[in-house]
Structure formats: structure tokens, C-alpha cells
A = this chain, B = another copy of it.
Amino acid sequence: MEKKQPELRVRRTRKLLWKALIELTTEKGYDSVTVKDITERAMINRVTFYRHYEDKNDLLMRGMDEIMDDLNERSEPPLTNWRVSVDQPPSNALVFFEHVQEYAQFYRVMLGKRGVPELGERMQRHIDTLFQERIELVRHTESSRIGKTLVPTDLAVYSISTTVMSIAKWWVDNDLPCTAQEIALYTTRLIVLGAYRSIGVEFELPEELRV
């Protein structure tokens, strides 16, 4: 059973408000945007705004929810037989960056300095979850040998999710200068070489990269 679609007018109103929020945040930064600004831009009465959302932040959160829901639906559970590699990004990395690409304008705005730190944190939690599961799997897979730990694991995991988020930010800020496939690969390389290596997860390294 699927949930009933709201009325046409309601959907139109909400869409216009969301659009106005993104536009205005792009123009003057999230903090500077007022509810009045949003409703004027959307050509919606201010009171009507409050009939749908508690405040500016509520509008943002609900929009973010939808986007995060979309990401969650796309993400696959971590594979059990998974090979750590510097040549092939894992499927969820690809899913993540394709998702970012799709909502590029949104992410560019919201991850920017005048955007909403909250968004980065929510996504980071999402990534944390995926990676922690993954790392456990990786550490217990025969294809990975465990070496010496150079950095505390929790610090390394934290640095991983930060790295992913910051790369996503860099990617959209620079107007997607490469494909999702490529950026996912770069991300994988940085993480696998750095954080993974630091916590002793070993991996297949092509001959020419060996030290």
C-alpha cells in the first residue's frame, strides 16, 4: 500500500517553497534567508508557509529527508565477499556520488560555507554507518591481511567519513570536473591508501605502486 499523494495545490505550494529556499540560499546564504524572502520568491502567502512548515528549518529538514531517503534506498548493504582495491570503487561509493551528482545544486548550496552544516553531519552519519560495517567485513575477509595499526581505528573511521564528505563538497564546488566513476575512484584510493592502510587493512596494490 502506497501512501496517498497530497493534493495538487499542496504539492505545488511545497515545491515552490523548496525551490525558493534553494535559490535564495544560493544567492545570499542560508542564514540570511528569511521566511518572508522565501514566500515572496515563491509567490506564496507567508501564512500559507506556516500551514505547511514550522519554520525555515523545518522546510529544509523535510527536503533533506526526502533526499536522504532517496540515498538510503539506493545504497546497497555491504557485500560480504568484498575485495579492497585501488582500481575499482565499491558499488556504494558509486551510488553515493551519482546521488550527489543528481542533486548537485542542492549539495553545492548546502555544503557551502553559507550553507547548512547540519546537512554534512547527517550525511556523514550515513557514511559512517556504511563504513563501519564495511570495515568489520574487510578486516575479517581472507582477501585482506591485517597489518600493523598506525592510527587509532575510531580516528581513522572519522577521517574516512570526513574525507568522503569533503571530496563530495570539492566535487560540486568545482562543478563536477570529472565523472562520478572517477571521483568515486579517487575517493577510494585516498581512503584505501591512507585510512585503511593506517589501521592495517591491506589490499591489492598494483606492482608499480609498491614501495
Q: Which of A121, A151, A190, A210 has the most CB of B within 10 A?
A: A190
Total number of A residues with any Cβ neighbor in B under 8 Å? 36
Query: Cβ of A163: which chain B residues have Cβ within 8 Å of it?
Result: 159, 162-163, 166
List residues 164-190 of chain A with CB under 8 A from any CB of chain B: 166-167, 170, 178, 186, 189-190
Known: A162-B166, A205-B211, A209-B148. A155 touches B186 (CB 8 A): yes
CB distance from A60 to the nearest CB of B (A): 14
Query: Closest 6 A-B residue pairs measured CB to CB?
Result: A194-B194, A162-B166, A151-B186, A150-B189, A193-B194, A193-B197
Binding site for B on A (CB under 8 A): 31, 86, 113, 117-118, 121, 147-148, 150-152, 155-156, 158-159, 162-163, 166-167, 170, 178, 186, 189-191, 193-195, 197-198, 202, 205, 208-211
